[in-house]
Amino acid sequence: MDRALGGLLVGIVIGIVMAWLYFVVWRLRYSAAIRENAVQRSLAVTAGKVHEQLVPYLPEFGFNPKDARFLGSPVDLIVFDGLAAGDVRRVVFLEVKTGGAALSPRERQVRAVIEAREVAWAELRLTRAQG
């Protein structure tokens, strides 16, 4: 009986060690996969940001690159069409997307406001503090 109990305990210990090793290996693989996924997403975001700033110099841009100003968020570029020539004809809010990327909810809100012509000019004049 003593022998059977000893064998049972050894079997339980071996089972626990095996389960623990399996868990450690699984966790390492899972963590590596998560890390790789995060790195890939970060690279994609960085490449997108670089691409957005280079867009004005691409042949398909359609505007004078000197007329474009990078904003980044909530739209990528604002184009003052004709600014470099001294004759601004229109202001274009430009969002750059690649592949099948969709507009974010914030970008859709901005688009809706612009399309509804709810755009205004404001001027802030600051006075010097006397002191």
pLDDT tens profile 102-125: 999 999 999 999 999 999 999 999
Question: What DSSP line would sit under 7-30, residue for residue?
Answer: HHHHHHHHHHHHHHHHHHHHHHHH
Confidence of residue 1 (pLDDT cuts 50, 70, 90): low
Alpha carbon separation from 116 to 11, 26, 75 (Å, rounded): 73, 53, 17
Cα–Cα dist 118/128, whole Å:
32
| pTM (two decimals) | 0.61
> Per this entry, what is the length of the chain?
131
Reported confidence tier of residue 31, pLDDT bands at 50, 70, 90: confident
pLDDT (average), residues 54-73: 90
Contact (Cβ atoms closer than 8 angstroms) between residue 106 and residue 74: yes
Per-residue pLDDT, averaged over 73-95, amounts to: 94
Q: Which of 42-46, 108-112, 125-129 has the highest mean pLDDT?
A: 108-112
